[in-house]
Amino acid sequence: MSVMLTKFESKSNRVKGLAFHPTQPLLAAALHNGSVQLWNYRMGVLVDRFEEHEGPVRGVAIHPSRALLVTGGDDYKIKVWDIRPQNRRCLFTLNGHLDYVRTVQFHHEMPWIISASDDQTIRIWNSTSRQCIAVLTGHSHYVMSVQFHPKEDLIVSASMDQTVRVWDISGLRKTSPNSGGPGSSNPNGPGNFEAFDTFSTVKHVLEGHDRGVNFAMFHPTLPLIISAGDDRVIKIWRMSEMKAWEVDSCRGHFNNVSSALFHPKHELIVSCGEDKTVRVWDLAKRTAIQTFRREQDRFWVLAAHPNLNLFAAGHDSGLIVFKLERERPAFSVFQDTLYYVRDKYVRAYDFNTGADIGLLSVRKFGSPYVPPRTLSFNPAERAVILTINSDNGIYELTNLPQQAQGEVKDSSVDGKKGSGQSAIFVARNRFAVLNKTSQLIEVRDLSNSVVKTIKPPVQTNEIFYGGTACLILSSPTAVVLYDIQQQKTIAEINSPPVKYVVWSHDSALVALMSKHTITIANKNFSQHSLVHETIRIKSGAWDDAGVFIYSTLNHVKYCLAQGDHGVICTLDNPVYLTRVKGKTVYCLDRSARPRTITFDPTEYRFKLALLKNNYEEMLYIIKTSTLLGQSIIAYLQQKGFPEIALHFVQDTNTRFELAIECGNLDVAMETAKSINRPECWERLAQQALKQGNHKVVEKAYQQTKNFDKLSFLYLATGSKDKLSKMQKIADARGDPMSRFHNALYAGDVQGRISVLRDVGLHPLAYLTAKTNGLEDLAAEILEAAGLTEADVDDVPLFGPSTLKPPPVITPTTDLLWPSLSAGENFFDRALVNGQLEGGIEPAYVNGDAAAAGHSALDAWAQEEKQEDIDPEEGGWELDADGGEFQPAVDAEEAVAEEEEELGAGATPGPSETELWVRNSPLAGDHVAAGSFETAMELLNRQFGIVNFAALKPLFLSTYRSSHTYLSPYASLPPLKLHIRRNPGETAPSRVLPVAVRSLESIRTELAEGYRFVSMNKLAEAQSTFRSVLQALLLAVVSSDDQAKEWRDTVTAARECLLGVSIELERRRVIEEEPENITRNLELAAYFTQCQLQPPHMQIALRSAISVFAKANNQAHAARFAKRLLELKPDPKIVAQARQRIAAGDRNPRNAVEISYDEFSPFEICAATYTPIYKGTPSVHCPYTDATYLPQFKGNLDPLVQLAEIGASASGLPASW
């Protein structure tokens, strides 16, 4: 235990009692000043205070399942509190103790509270009836502590009388089936102590401490008791049904031991005392493991969290919450597998199948109490490097077994160790080790020898993989990308100490995690963004789409490359994310067990789509998700995408706002209609005016009855008829001012005059009429005013007014100001097309896509996979002479004799092609090796081939495809490299050239030939079959099955070639000798005798039927038709065949006599296309086995034109 990790610390009055909340991060602390504090230790905040006790509070406990707190103090009182924030209050007080209450505790299932007091009694209370149900007497001094057994009906108490007592309280449970207890039926109340004693008996009295005992507790599972006393000793006791005895003592504290606890999960004891120390002991060995010392403060109380690896200790000036070990499991992810360490075993967890297997024990690596800190995985070598903090930091490099074995391998068997605080793989066969004290980074190879030493440019605390040939160095103030080769800094980013580094799947982005910040950088650190968190950051993983998902103490969050981040879900307990795939987060919990969390990635997917302008995806999300709240809208608005936000919003007010903001007048109009409030219309009008859409403005003004503006708008647009309408409206409204306006705007003099007349402004009306030359009207007005011309002769004369509205040049009434389209608005288009309804899910890359192939890890691993492929290795091994030509390549053996050869005198060794020739009896391999001479010999010997000219292109292309050239070094002639069939093989006696033409590829070509036949391209088919037969000569065959397949292919190709040749000959006969019907019929009949593919056989038979029917050879035609029926052709063809048979039955005669006896088996001579009946002599082609008449012996076979007919041949060599 090299560290005790303090997670939280508070300053306060002396802490005498402590209790953890079982599920929430809460800790209750009872203080000497009478206060009880409730802390959230994760957030570090004081949640609540309970201050009703008078004097010190010593005992405190939280109910295991309900929101209840019990406290006991020096005021003799026990108080029960409701701790729910909305409801917090003291529920009730239990009175009865006659002295200080030392400890209190809830029973795990009964509604009981137990308390220990200086009045020498232990009392059990029913919290339902709020009465004392038992008083346990027997101790002869203060009872310092009392605890229920976690499962059985036992309690253990510790007292100043130097004893620990175990009590049996099963009687109590029996007599209180309704949890009422005897007290409830006792009318006398809790005064009568003696009455309770029958329900509880002292089972064991444990004597051994020399001073008073401060604390005692049961082991959670074993029959053990631990006690801590003023004699500075911790004692361990074992008990059976009958008795209890002392097992051992832990000595080391040099003052009173206040408390000692069993670790809830590990075989450890944690104790604290007035000697200002907290100590950790090994339960099995009873030896001290670790001591944590404080300068000033005496420790008074310890508490262990019931489920988590957390402890709290109270001292003179506050409390601390601490962990005994790091819980972050060491892990590494490769493809679909998580490699991690649990309980000092390296395990592999398959994300897809959930299979979780132990691969390697690391129990002997470092201190047994410390888990490994980091794990680096090398897929190519299937090796891991672990580091551990014990022993000043060591690392170990071990290979993982290929499969889980019955007995898990221990790393100490072949592990390579060394000292260093940080060790990681940097390449397939290199790893880097950081030594913090000497500040040196060593690059080592897999045999653990140093190949390079680097002095980092900054104070380095930790190193991480930095991409090819690079390291990431974490210093206290910055993080440095460092080139190993060049030994120089590539880039540096200021950052708090980086603790973890996670690369994205495509190695394009890296997340650098510190305690409270995440820096997302690209691979050469040239761009980066920073995310701040107030809560401690624990871990993170990349989504395949480049979103970083990370966990803090209490949240899972996401972070986009440009720095946007948000919450995905909340966590009860911290987890360590290992991988994100689709909607699933894979993680390890604090006990290093794999877990998954499903979440809704909509929000970040949407934001990411927005960033990448991936509108299809956005549209899809908009369509399918229901979970987009105000935050998304605010986000979109803030990021300048109101038009997109528009599509999310149902609320009309927001829609209106957004529509105005993005200038979408249609939507604005629509929403304004449904809102129908003047301010909306006004804003709409304003926006529309800006955009020059006067129709919308008009509508808006109409809606708000803004007549003045409306009129002016009509003036501006030159809409005279509208203006006159406005006059009428104004008239109807009885608004003469408005009428006047409109008349003025419309240039309607008469209208103006009539307004003036109507309102009685006769002088103005008169003058208006007069100046506009409307004399009649003027006179009329005068008359109406009861005046004559004479009355107004003092009025000066004005010339006719030239003032009038300008004429309308372009009527814009129906024209809108053209607005520039704001780019292609995908959403509008989509909405118009109705696509929104039927959006197709776009291929979101996360999780579904295969991981990007460029990461170095993948490449390493691929090599690994390839190594397994070993096709028929050793197939050609000639054991007898296997070793003869070894020395040249096998350096190991030849070291001694070659020592002097280094240098100028080196003689050339055997080339790879020579090895190939030696290793194979197949002509194809010899051709690939360029040894044409031997290849020809082989072909001649094996297949009687004599005419090689046709094979030349094949030879050359085969040879060509077996070698390649590369110049690794400048200006030198390129190296000739030889392509092997079995890349895994390096032994010189086994290397073989690549199979240029595999049997499969030749069969593909054969199939092509079949197709030509079906398509009636017989000439092409003929040459294809020939080429197949040529290629087969150089095919590589390496097993009996393959040899059989080879032979079958040869036969099939030969038959097809023969058939096609016959048919071609028949067509030639029709063409050139049309009168030779006999030959025509014979050839048609022979064609059906070739062993063809079933579809080709149908063709052959159908052609024969028609030819024979035409020649009136009905009997033969019927026979062919019968054969055709056996092949089960199409119904249509069946009908035709039946007709043929019927015709044959009616007229079973043959008009033309031909040489064709289908009832006695025969072969067809491939030269003359005549039958060779069984029993008559024949010769064969040594390669294809085609049959020839004996007179052709010694000639070149006409079919393939390669072999000498009748030559002797050994056939395919079978040496596998």
Partner 1 sequence: MDSSELYHIKQQFTLGAFRALVRQPLPDKSSPDYVSTLLYKARSYIALNQAKSALELIPEDAEDIALKAVSALARFVDSTKSSDAETSLEELRDLSVEIEGDDVDCTEKEKALVRVLAGTAFARAGEIEEALETLGSDSEDLEAVALIVQIYLSINRPDLAKKQFDRSKRWAEDDLLLQLIESTIGLVTGKDNYANTNSFYTEQLGNPSLSSPHLLTARGITRILRGEIQEAKSDLEESLVQQKGESEAEAAYVVAVGLGASKKPESEDLWAKFVSEHGSHPLVQDITQKSEMFDQYAANYVVPPQITLSA
Site residues for partner 1, 495-524, by CB under 8 A, read 507, 523-524
- Helix (H) / strand (E) element for 655: namely helix 652-662
970 binds partner 1 (CB under 8 A): yes
Query: Please, which residue, 363 or 952, has the CB nearer to partner 1?
Result: 952
690 binds partner 1 (CB under 8 A): no
Query: Please, which residue, 150 or 887, has the CB nearer to partner 1?
Result: 887
Query: Please, which residue, 54 or 870, has the CB nearer to partner 1?
Result: 870
Q: For partner 1, which residue of 239, 502, 996, 1186 counts as binding (CB under 8 A)?
A: 996
Tokens of 199: 């329900």
- Measure the CA–CA gap between 145 and 159, rounded to whole angstroms: 7
How many residues interact with partner 1 (rule CB under 8 A)?
Answer: 108
Query: Please, which residue, 206 or 1006, has the CB nearer to partner 1?
Result: 1006
Q: Nearest distance from residue 505's CB to partner 1, in Å?
A: 13
901 binds partner 1 (CB under 8 A): yes
Q: Nearest distance from residue 892's CB to partner 1, in Å?
A: 9
Strand partners, 248: 236
1167 binds partner 1 (CB under 8 A): yes
Tokens of 459: 């104070």
Q: For partner 1, which residue of 46, 569, 975, 1135 counts as binding (CB under 8 A)?
A: 975
What's the residue count for the chain? 1216
Q: For partner 1, which residue of 295, 972, 1094, 1126 counts as binding (CB under 8 A)?
A: 972
Query: Please, which residue, 880 or 949, has the CB nearer to partner 1?
Result: 949
Query: Please, which residue, 880 or 972, has the CB nearer to partner 1?
Result: 972
The strand pair at 383-388 and 374-378 is best described as antiparallel
SS3 call for 515: coil
Which are the contacts of 58, defined by CB distance < 8 A and separation ≥ 6? Answer: 16, 17, 30, 72, 73, 74, 100, 101, 102, 103
Cβ atoms of residues 1107 and 1084 within 8 Å: yes
Per-residue CA distances from 480 to 252, 472, 731 (Å): 46, 6, 82
Query: Please, which residue, 691 or 1168, has the CB nearer to partner 1?
Result: 1168
1134 binds partner 1 (CB under 8 A): no
Cβ atoms of residues 563 and 531 within 8 Å: yes
896 binds partner 1 (CB under 8 A): no
Tokens of 333: 């992810």
Q: Nearest distance from residue 441's CB to partner 1, in Å?
A: 12
964 binds partner 1 (CB under 8 A): yes
Q: How far apart are the first and last CA of the chain?
A: 61
Q: Nearest distance from residue 875's CB to partner 1, in Å?
A: 16
Query: Please, which residue, 432 or 778, has the CB nearer to partner 1?
Result: 432
The strand pair at 422-427 and 89-94 is best described as unpaired
- Helix (H) / strand (E) element for 73: namely strand 68-73
Q: Nearest distance from residue 69's CB to partner 1, in Å?
A: 58
Query: Please, which residue, 284 or 895, has the CB nearer to partner 1?
Result: 895
Amino acid at 804: K
SS3 call for 995: coil
Query: Please, which residue, 901 or 1048, has the CB nearer to partner 1?
Result: 901
527 binds partner 1 (CB under 8 A): no
What does the buried/exposed string (b/e) look like for 1114-1129 if buried means 16 or more CB atoms within 10 Å of the residue's CB? bebbbbbbebbbeeeb
- Measure the CA–CA gap between 831 and 647, rounded to whole angstroms: 9
Cβ atoms of residues 555 and 539 within 8 Å: no
SS3 call for 751: helix
Span near partner 1 by CB under 8 A; candidates 153-161, 238-246, 812-820, 971-979: 971-979
Residues 802-861 that bind partner 1 (CB under 8 A): 854-856, 859-860
Tokens of 528: 């980066």
Query: Please, which residue, 272 or 1205, has the CB nearer to partner 1?
Result: 1205
Q: For partner 1, which residue of 624, 630, 947, 1215 counts as binding (CB under 8 A)?
A: 947
Q: Nearest distance from residue 1155's CB to partner 1, in Å?
A: 16
Q: For partner 1, which residue of 979, 1070, 1115, 1125 counts as binding (CB under 8 A)?
A: 979
Helices 652-662 and 665-675: crossing angle, nearest 10°? Answer: 150
- Measure the CA–CA gap between 790 and 788, rounded to whole angstroms: 5
Q: Nearest distance from residue 30's CB to partner 1, in Å?
A: 59
Residues 1180-1199 that bind partner 1 (CB under 8 A): 1192, 1194-1196, 1198
Q: Nearest distance from residue 497's CB to partner 1, in Å?
A: 24
Q: Is the dihedral of CA 177, 179, 181, 186 positive or negative?
A: negative
Write the interaction track for partner 1 spanning residues 1019-1058; mark x where CB under 8 A is met and - where it is not: --------x-------------------------------
Write the interaction track for partner 1 spanning residues 364-393; mark x where CB under 8 A is met and - where it is not: ----------------x-------------
Residues 247-306 that bind partner 1 (CB under 8 A): none
What does the buried/exposed string (b/e) look like for 63-99 if buried means 16 or more CB atoms within 10 Å of the residue's CB? beeebbbbbbbbbbbbbbbebeeeebeeeeebebbee
404 binds partner 1 (CB under 8 A): no
Write the interaction track for partner 1 spanning residues 916-945; mark x where CB under 8 A is met and - where it is not: --------------x-xx--x---x-----
SS3 call for 51: coil
Write the interaction track for partner 1 spanning residues 532-571; mark x where CB under 8 A is met and - where it is not: ----------------------------------------
Write the interaction track for partner 1 spanning residues 430-449; mark x where CB under 8 A is met and - where it is not: x------------x------
H helices present in 137-192, as ranges: 170-174, 181-185
Query: Please, which residue, 965 or 1159, has the CB nearer to partner 1?
Result: 965
Query: Please, which residue, 888 or 1018, has the CB nearer to partner 1?
Result: 888
Query: Please, which residue, 259 or 855, has the CB nearer to partner 1?
Result: 855
Tokens of 517: 């910040």
Residues 656-685 that bind partner 1 (CB under 8 A): none
Per-residue CA distances from 528 to 475, 563, 654, 1171 (Å): 17, 9, 35, 85
- Measure the CA–CA gap between 1174 and 1103, rounded to whole angstroms: 26
Residues 448-477 that bind partner 1 (CB under 8 A): 451-453, 467-470
For the chain, how big is the Rg over CA atoms in Å? 50
Helices 707-717 and 694-704: crossing angle, nearest 10°? Answer: 160
Span near partner 1 by CB under 8 A; candidates 155-163, 289-297, 682-690, 956-964: 956-964
Cβ atoms of residues 542 and 555 within 8 Å: no
- Measure the CA–CA gap between 290 and 274, rounded to whole angstroms: 17
Of 408, 440, 404, residue with least CA distance to 423: 440
Residues 854-893 that bind partner 1 (CB under 8 A): 854-856, 859-860, 862-864, 866-867, 869, 887-891
Q: For partner 1, which residue of 51, 152, 898, 1145 counts as binding (CB under 8 A)?
A: 898
968 binds partner 1 (CB under 8 A): yes
653 binds partner 1 (CB under 8 A): no
1136 binds partner 1 (CB under 8 A): no
- Residue 389: phi and psi, rounded to 5, are -80, -20
Which are the contacts of 150, defined by CB distance < 8 A and separation ≥ 6? Answer: 108, 218, 220
What does the buried/exposed string (b/e) look like for 865-875 if buried means 16 or more CB atoms within 10 Å of the residue's CB? eeeeeeeeeeb
Q: Nearest distance from residue 964's CB to partner 1, in Å?
A: 5
Tokens of 1012: 């030509």
Amino acid at 499: K
Query: Please, which residue, 291 or 335, has the CB nearer to partner 1?
Result: 335
- Measure the CA–CA gap between 98 and 77, rounded to whole angstroms: 9
Span near partner 1 by CB under 8 A; candidates 141-149, 151-159, 193-201, 968-976: 968-976
Query: Please, which residue, 1077 or 1105, has the CB nearer to partner 1?
Result: 1077
